[in-house]
Amino acid sequence: MLNTEANEDLLNNAASYPRQQRIAFDMLTKSYRNSNDFRLIQISTTKRDTIIDKSDVDKYVIEFTYTKKNIAGKLFKSKYQVIDEKGYTQSFELELTNIEQFKIDSLLETSQQHILQSAKNYSDTIRQ
């Protein structure tokens, strides 16, 4: 599977705020010459209520964690804010520290273990 397809799958499956995540994802994609140059690992989105010019506004902070083509063993993150359908780059292509990588690896491993256990439990239930 191409990185582009994998990225789209993750984006579509993790979309808690699809419009805002799409805006941020398009900004990230446009930062690379080739959209296959990175592969998303995780998407994190936070919605915050804020006040701008005395008006209540929703601000979305979208953070992407990803690997880059031809750079093995390193993870990167980029963070964007989306306010009123307009995206702003907060940080771009920051290399994660070893501690941050360890936390993400641990979360991914735990998630995979839960998925496998759920599948086993489901399979056992069907056999009964």
Please tell me whether residues 41 and 51 are part of one structural domain.
yes
Please tell me whether residues 43 and 101 are part of one structural domain.
no
pTM beyond 0.75, yes or no:
no
Asked whether 25 and 63 are in contact (CB, 8 A), the reply is no
Residue 46 confidence (pLDDT): 92
The Cα diameter of the chain in Å comes to 62
Residue 114 confidence (pLDDT): 56
Residue 26 confidence (pLDDT): 96
Residue 27 confidence (pLDDT): 97
Please tell me whether residues 54 and 85 are part of one structural domain.
yes
Q: Which domain holds residue 123?
A: 97-128
Closest by CA to 92, choosing from 123, 118, 66, is: 66
Residues whose CB falls within 8 Å of the CB of residue 45, separated by 6 or more in sequence, listed in order: 16, 17, 20, 21, 60, 61, 62, 63
Residue 68 burial by Cβ neighbours in a 10 Å radius (0-12, 13-18, 19+): middle
Residue 73 confidence (pLDDT): 81
Question: Residue 58 above 80 pLDDT?
Answer: yes
Q: How many domains does the chain have?
A: 2
Average pLDDT for 72-91: 92
Question: Residue 74 above 90 pLDDT?
Answer: no
pLDDT averaged over the chain? 83
Nearest-angstrom CA–CA distance, 34 and 30 = 8
pLDDT tens digits along 13-37: 877 899 999 999 999 999 999 989 9
Nearest-angstrom CA–CA distance, 3 and 47 = 27
